[in-house]
Amino acid sequence: MADLTHYVILNANAGTANATGVDAASLAALFEANGLNAEIDARSDIALSERLADAMASNAPTVVAAGGDGTITALASALVDTDKNLAILPLGTVNALAKDLHVPLALPQAVAALVTGETHRIDVGEVNGRIFLHKVVVGLIPGLAAGREHIRGRYDAGAKIGFLRYIFRRLARAKRIAVVIETELGERRVERVQAMAVASNSYDEGLGQFFSRQSLDRGSLTLYVLRHLTPRDFIRLTTGMLLGRWKNDEALSMESVNSVTIDTRKDLIKVMFDGEVETLHTPLNFKIRPKALSVIVPAVAVAPAEAA
Protein backbone atom coordinates (compact mmCIF):
# COMPACT_ATOMS: atom_id res chain seq x y z
CA MET A 1 0.00 0.00 0.00
CA ALA A 2 1.29 3.45 -0.90
CA ASP A 3 2.40 5.74 1.90
CA LEU A 4 -0.32 7.88 3.37
CA THR A 5 -0.03 11.40 1.95
CA HIS A 6 -2.96 13.20 3.56
CA TYR A 7 -4.90 12.80 6.80
CA VAL A 8 -8.22 14.63 6.43
CA ILE A 9 -10.32 15.89 9.34
CA LEU A 10 -13.80 16.51 7.95
CA ASN A 11 -16.32 18.71 9.75
CA ALA A 12 -19.51 17.70 7.97
CA ASN A 13 -21.45 20.33 9.94
CA ALA A 14 -19.48 23.24 8.47
CA GLY A 15 -21.56 25.68 6.41
CA THR A 16 -20.72 24.57 2.86
CA ALA A 17 -20.28 20.91 3.79
CA ASN A 18 -23.71 20.79 5.39
CA ALA A 19 -25.36 22.63 2.50
CA THR A 20 -23.80 20.47 -0.23
CA GLY A 21 -23.85 17.12 1.54
CA VAL A 22 -20.11 16.48 1.53
CA ASP A 23 -19.34 13.23 3.33
CA ALA A 24 -16.42 10.83 3.80
CA ALA A 25 -17.25 8.77 0.70
CA SER A 26 -17.51 11.70 -1.70
CA LEU A 27 -14.35 13.25 -0.29
CA ALA A 28 -12.42 9.96 -0.55
CA ALA A 29 -13.51 9.66 -4.18
CA LEU A 30 -12.09 13.11 -4.96
CA PHE A 31 -8.73 12.26 -3.41
CA GLU A 32 -8.59 8.92 -5.25
CA ALA A 33 -9.47 10.59 -8.55
CA ASN A 34 -6.46 12.89 -8.08
CA GLY A 35 -4.11 10.05 -7.20
CA LEU A 36 -3.80 11.04 -3.54
CA ASN A 37 -3.73 8.45 -0.77
CA ALA A 38 -5.79 9.91 2.05
CA GLU A 39 -7.41 8.80 5.27
CA ILE A 40 -10.72 10.57 5.87
CA ASP A 41 -11.69 11.13 9.50
CA ALA A 42 -15.37 12.08 9.55
CA ARG A 43 -16.10 10.93 13.12
CA SER A 44 -18.61 13.39 14.51
CA ASP A 45 -19.08 11.41 17.75
CA ILE A 46 -15.42 11.73 18.77
CA ALA A 47 -13.95 14.79 20.53
CA LEU A 48 -11.93 17.00 18.22
CA SER A 49 -8.94 16.77 20.56
CA GLU A 50 -8.87 12.98 20.06
CA ARG A 51 -9.18 13.34 16.30
CA LEU A 52 -6.30 15.83 16.30
CA ALA A 53 -4.17 13.41 18.33
CA ASP A 54 -4.84 10.65 15.78
CA ALA A 55 -3.88 12.99 12.95
CA MET A 56 -0.62 13.91 14.64
CA ALA A 57 0.18 10.23 15.27
CA SER A 58 -0.33 9.32 11.61
CA ASN A 59 2.57 9.11 9.15
CA ALA A 60 0.91 11.57 6.77
CA PRO A 61 3.10 14.64 6.18
CA THR A 62 0.03 16.79 5.48
CA VAL A 63 -3.06 17.14 7.64
CA VAL A 64 -6.09 18.59 5.89
CA ALA A 65 -8.73 20.73 7.57
CA ALA A 66 -11.95 20.11 5.64
CA GLY A 67 -14.25 22.56 7.34
CA GLY A 68 -14.67 26.18 8.39
CA ASP A 69 -12.38 28.66 10.09
CA GLY A 70 -12.95 27.10 13.53
CA THR A 71 -11.77 23.69 12.34
CA ILE A 72 -8.78 25.26 10.60
CA THR A 73 -7.70 27.22 13.68
CA ALA A 74 -8.01 24.13 15.92
CA LEU A 75 -5.92 22.05 13.53
CA ALA A 76 -3.34 24.81 13.08
CA SER A 77 -2.91 25.01 16.86
CA ALA A 78 -1.86 21.35 16.90
CA LEU A 79 0.47 21.72 13.90
CA VAL A 80 2.38 24.85 15.00
CA ASP A 81 6.12 24.23 15.30
CA THR A 82 5.84 20.63 14.02
CA ASP A 83 7.13 19.04 10.80
CA LYS A 84 3.60 18.45 9.46
CA ASN A 85 1.87 20.72 6.94
CA LEU A 86 -1.61 22.19 7.11
CA ALA A 87 -3.79 22.01 3.99
CA ILE A 88 -7.26 23.52 3.67
CA LEU A 89 -10.43 22.39 1.96
CA PRO A 90 -12.68 25.44 2.52
CA LEU A 91 -16.08 24.13 3.60
CA GLY A 92 -17.07 26.97 5.93
CA THR A 93 -19.04 30.15 5.44
CA VAL A 94 -16.26 32.78 5.52
CA ASN A 95 -13.13 30.75 4.64
CA ALA A 96 -10.86 33.68 5.51
CA LEU A 97 -7.49 31.92 5.55
CA ALA A 98 -8.29 29.93 2.41
CA LYS A 99 -8.95 33.18 0.55
CA ASP A 100 -5.72 34.74 1.84
CA LEU A 101 -3.79 31.67 0.62
CA HIS A 102 -5.65 31.65 -2.72
CA VAL A 103 -7.02 28.15 -2.15
CA PRO A 104 -9.85 27.42 -4.64
CA LEU A 105 -13.22 27.68 -2.91
CA ALA A 106 -14.79 24.92 -5.02
CA LEU A 107 -14.10 21.54 -3.42
CA PRO A 108 -13.02 19.58 -6.56
CA GLN A 109 -10.53 22.31 -7.51
CA ALA A 110 -9.26 22.59 -3.92
CA VAL A 111 -8.48 18.85 -3.81
CA ALA A 112 -6.87 18.98 -7.26
CA ALA A 113 -4.65 21.87 -6.13
CA LEU A 114 -3.14 19.61 -3.44
CA VAL A 115 -1.45 17.54 -6.14
CA THR A 116 0.94 20.35 -7.11
CA GLY A 117 0.69 22.34 -3.89
CA GLU A 118 3.79 23.95 -2.40
CA THR A 119 4.80 24.44 1.23
CA HIS A 120 4.96 27.94 2.65
CA ARG A 121 5.53 29.09 6.23
CA ILE A 122 3.23 31.72 7.72
CA ASP A 123 3.02 33.62 11.00
CA VAL A 124 0.45 32.88 13.68
CA GLY A 125 -0.77 35.08 16.52
CA GLU A 126 -0.97 33.97 20.11
CA VAL A 127 -3.14 35.30 22.93
CA ASN A 128 -2.87 33.90 26.44
CA GLY A 129 -1.23 30.79 25.03
CA ARG A 130 -3.84 30.16 22.33
CA ILE A 131 -3.12 30.28 18.60
CA PHE A 132 -5.14 32.47 16.24
CA LEU A 133 -4.77 32.84 12.49
CA HIS A 134 -6.71 36.01 11.68
CA LYS A 135 -7.64 38.39 14.48
CA VAL A 136 -9.03 38.73 17.98
CA VAL A 137 -11.57 41.52 18.48
CA VAL A 138 -12.83 43.08 21.73
CA GLY A 139 -15.54 45.63 22.42
CA LEU A 140 -18.70 46.15 20.41
CA ILE A 141 -17.94 43.80 17.49
CA PRO A 142 -18.31 40.47 19.38
CA GLY A 143 -21.81 41.56 20.41
CA LEU A 144 -22.71 42.31 16.82
CA ALA A 145 -21.26 38.98 15.72
CA ALA A 146 -23.38 37.16 18.29
CA GLY A 147 -26.44 38.35 16.39
CA ARG A 148 -25.44 36.08 13.49
CA GLU A 149 -26.58 33.08 15.52
CA HIS A 150 -30.19 34.19 15.12
CA ILE A 151 -29.97 33.93 11.32
CA ARG A 152 -27.40 31.12 10.93
CA GLY A 153 -28.54 28.84 8.13
CA ARG A 154 -31.03 31.40 6.79
CA TYR A 155 -30.35 33.16 3.50
CA ASP A 156 -33.66 34.93 2.85
CA ALA A 157 -33.98 38.70 2.55
CA GLY A 158 -36.01 38.91 5.76
CA ALA A 159 -33.15 37.43 7.80
CA LYS A 160 -30.61 39.85 6.32
CA ILE A 161 -32.83 42.88 6.90
CA GLY A 162 -33.46 41.75 10.46
CA PHE A 163 -29.73 41.39 11.08
CA LEU A 164 -29.06 44.91 9.74
CA ARG A 165 -31.73 46.30 12.07
CA TYR A 166 -30.09 44.46 14.96
CA ILE A 167 -26.71 45.99 14.05
CA PHE A 168 -28.00 49.55 13.90
CA ARG A 169 -29.88 49.19 17.19
CA ARG A 170 -26.70 47.99 18.89
CA LEU A 171 -24.66 50.79 17.31
CA ALA A 172 -27.12 53.43 18.48
CA ARG A 173 -26.91 52.21 22.11
CA ALA A 174 -23.22 51.28 22.21
CA LYS A 175 -20.93 52.70 24.88
CA ARG A 176 -17.18 52.96 24.81
CA ILE A 177 -15.02 50.86 27.13
CA ALA A 178 -11.79 51.81 28.89
CA VAL A 179 -8.79 49.63 28.05
CA VAL A 180 -5.16 49.70 29.12
CA ILE A 181 -2.73 49.08 26.27
CA GLU A 182 0.94 48.20 26.79
CA THR A 183 3.31 47.37 23.92
CA GLU A 184 6.63 45.54 23.98
CA LEU A 185 8.41 48.90 24.37
CA GLY A 186 6.83 49.32 27.80
CA GLU A 187 4.64 52.21 26.70
CA ARG A 188 1.40 52.14 28.65
CA ARG A 189 -1.71 54.14 27.84
CA VAL A 190 -5.43 54.20 28.59
CA GLU A 191 -7.89 54.49 25.70
CA ARG A 192 -11.67 54.73 25.55
CA VAL A 193 -12.67 52.66 22.55
CA GLN A 194 -15.69 51.20 20.84
CA ALA A 195 -13.73 48.22 19.57
CA MET A 196 -10.18 46.92 19.14
CA ALA A 197 -8.63 44.19 17.05
CA VAL A 198 -5.25 42.49 17.09
CA ALA A 199 -4.49 40.85 13.75
CA SER A 200 -1.74 38.51 12.62
CA ASN A 201 0.04 40.74 10.06
CA SER A 202 -2.09 43.50 8.53
CA TYR A 203 -5.10 43.84 6.27
CA ASP A 204 -4.68 45.41 2.86
CA GLU A 205 -6.64 48.11 1.12
CA GLY A 206 -8.09 47.22 -2.24
CA LEU A 207 -11.24 47.58 -4.27
CA GLY A 208 -13.87 45.24 -2.81
CA GLN A 209 -11.47 43.66 -0.31
CA PHE A 210 -12.86 42.90 3.15
CA PHE A 211 -10.18 41.93 5.69
CA SER A 212 -7.88 40.47 3.04
CA ARG A 213 -4.14 39.89 3.56
CA GLN A 214 -1.66 39.52 0.73
CA SER A 215 1.23 38.69 3.06
CA LEU A 216 1.07 36.41 6.09
CA ASP A 217 4.77 36.30 6.95
CA ARG A 218 5.74 39.88 7.83
CA GLY A 219 6.47 38.87 11.41
CA SER A 220 4.27 41.40 13.21
CA LEU A 221 0.87 41.99 14.72
CA THR A 222 -1.32 44.95 13.81
CA LEU A 223 -3.31 46.71 16.52
CA TYR A 224 -6.49 48.39 15.24
CA VAL A 225 -8.26 50.85 17.56
CA LEU A 226 -11.77 52.07 16.74
CA ARG A 227 -12.58 54.99 19.02
CA HIS A 228 -16.18 55.44 17.95
CA LEU A 229 -18.61 53.50 15.77
CA THR A 230 -21.91 55.24 15.16
CA PRO A 231 -24.27 54.09 12.40
CA ARG A 232 -22.73 56.83 10.23
CA ASP A 233 -19.22 55.52 11.00
CA PHE A 234 -20.34 51.99 10.15
CA ILE A 235 -21.68 53.03 6.75
CA ARG A 236 -18.60 55.16 6.00
CA LEU A 237 -16.13 52.41 6.95
CA THR A 238 -18.04 49.76 5.00
CA THR A 239 -18.14 52.00 1.94
CA GLY A 240 -14.44 52.76 2.38
CA MET A 241 -13.63 49.05 2.39
CA LEU A 242 -15.61 48.55 -0.80
CA LEU A 243 -13.71 51.41 -2.43
CA GLY A 244 -10.33 50.42 -0.99
CA ARG A 245 -9.96 53.55 1.14
CA TRP A 246 -10.41 52.82 4.84
CA LYS A 247 -7.02 52.98 6.59
CA ASN A 248 -7.11 56.77 6.93
CA ASP A 249 -10.60 56.88 8.42
CA GLU A 250 -10.73 59.40 11.25
CA ALA A 251 -12.35 56.89 13.66
CA LEU A 252 -9.57 54.33 13.23
CA SER A 253 -5.91 54.13 14.22
CA MET A 254 -3.45 51.29 13.72
CA GLU A 255 0.08 50.36 14.70
CA SER A 256 2.47 47.48 14.09
CA VAL A 257 3.70 45.63 17.19
CA ASN A 258 5.46 42.39 18.04
CA SER A 259 3.56 41.98 21.30
CA VAL A 260 0.87 43.88 23.16
CA THR A 261 -1.15 43.52 26.36
CA ILE A 262 -4.76 44.68 26.61
CA ASP A 263 -6.45 44.91 30.00
CA THR A 264 -9.85 46.00 31.27
CA ARG A 265 -11.55 46.26 34.65
CA LYS A 266 -13.31 42.96 34.04
CA ASP A 267 -11.74 39.58 34.77
CA LEU A 268 -13.55 38.04 31.80
CA ILE A 269 -14.22 39.61 28.44
CA LYS A 270 -16.08 38.51 25.33
CA VAL A 271 -13.97 38.46 22.18
CA MET A 272 -14.40 37.42 18.59
CA PHE A 273 -11.68 34.79 18.16
CA ASP A 274 -11.07 34.00 14.48
CA GLY A 275 -14.74 34.62 13.80
CA GLU A 276 -16.21 32.80 16.81
CA VAL A 277 -17.46 34.54 19.96
CA GLU A 278 -15.64 33.33 23.08
CA THR A 279 -14.86 34.47 26.62
CA LEU A 280 -11.23 35.02 27.68
CA HIS A 281 -9.53 35.98 30.94
CA THR A 282 -7.85 39.38 31.15
CA PRO A 283 -5.28 40.67 30.67
CA LEU A 284 -4.99 39.60 27.05
CA ASN A 285 -1.32 38.98 26.26
CA PHE A 286 -0.64 38.94 22.52
CA LYS A 287 2.50 38.02 20.61
CA ILE A 288 3.45 37.05 17.08
CA ARG A 289 5.06 33.70 16.27
CA PRO A 290 6.90 34.25 12.98
CA LYS A 291 6.65 31.50 10.35
CA ALA A 292 5.54 28.97 12.95
CA LEU A 293 3.09 27.14 10.67
CA SER A 294 3.75 25.28 7.42
CA VAL A 295 0.82 25.44 4.99
CA ILE A 296 0.15 24.00 1.55
CA VAL A 297 -0.62 26.68 -1.04
CA PRO A 298 -1.56 26.27 -4.70
CA ALA A 299 1.39 26.30 -7.10
CA VAL A 300 1.80 29.66 -8.83
CA ALA A 301 0.51 29.40 -12.37
CA VAL A 302 2.94 30.62 -15.04
CA ALA A 303 1.38 33.01 -17.53
CA PRO A 304 1.94 32.16 -21.22
CA ALA A 305 4.07 35.29 -21.77
CA GLU A 306 6.29 34.41 -18.80
CA ALA A 307 6.67 30.83 -20.06
CA ALA A 308 7.73 32.10 -23.47
Burial of residue 196, with CB atoms counted within 10 A of its CB: 0-12 exposed, 13-18 middle, 19 or more buried: buried
Say whether both 75 and 199 belong to one domain: no
CATH number at residue 185: 2.60.200.40
Say whether both 33 and 174 belong to one domain: no
In a domain, 306, yes or no: no
CATH number at residue 27: 3.40.50.10330
pLDDT tens-place string over residues 233-283: 888 888 888 888 888 889 899 999 999 999 999 999 999 999 888 999 999
Helix ranges (DSSP H) in 247-303: none
**What is the mean pLDDT of the segment spanning 29-56?**
94
- Domain assignment of residue 150, given as a range: 130-290
**What is the mean pLDDT of the segment spanning 39-49?**
93
Q: What pLDDT, on a 0 to 100 scale, did the predictor assign at position 144?
A: 64
Say whether both 238 and 140 belong to one domain: yes
Q: What pLDDT, on a 0 to 100 scale, did the predictor assign at position 233?
A: 86
In a domain, 305, yes or no: no
In a domain, 232, yes or no: yes
Say whether both 40 and 103 belong to one domain: yes
pLDDT tens-place string over residues 122-156: 999 999 999 999 999 998 877 666 665 555 555 56
Q: What pLDDT, on a 0 to 100 scale, did the predictor assign at position 169?
A: 73
What average pLDDT does the chain have? 87
Query: What is the model's pTM?
Result: 0.85
What's the pLDDT band for 308 if we cut at 50, 70, 90? Answer: very low
Alpha carbons 155 and 21: distance in angstroms, whole number: 17
Which residue among 47, 80, 115 closes a domain? 115
Say whether both 52 and 199 belong to one domain: no
In a domain, 123, yes or no: no
In a domain, 249, yes or no: yes
Burial of residue 227, with CB atoms counted within 10 A of its CB: 0-12 exposed, 13-18 middle, 19 or more buried: middle
Q: What pLDDT, on a 0 to 100 scale, did the predictor assign at position 151?
A: 53
Q: What pLDDT, on a 0 to 100 scale, did the predictor assign at position 302?
A: 38
Q: What pLDDT, on a 0 to 100 scale, did the predictor assign at position 16?
A: 73
61 against 160, higher pLDDT: 61
Q: What pLDDT, on a 0 to 100 scale, did the predictor assign at position 154?
A: 57
Say whether both 103 and 63 belong to one domain: yes
Say whether both 178 and 213 belong to one domain: yes
Alpha carbons 15 and 262: distance in angstroms, whole number: 32
Say whether both 98 and 134 belong to one domain: no
pLDDT tens-place string over residues 154-191: 556 666 676 677 666 767 677 889 999 999 888 899 99
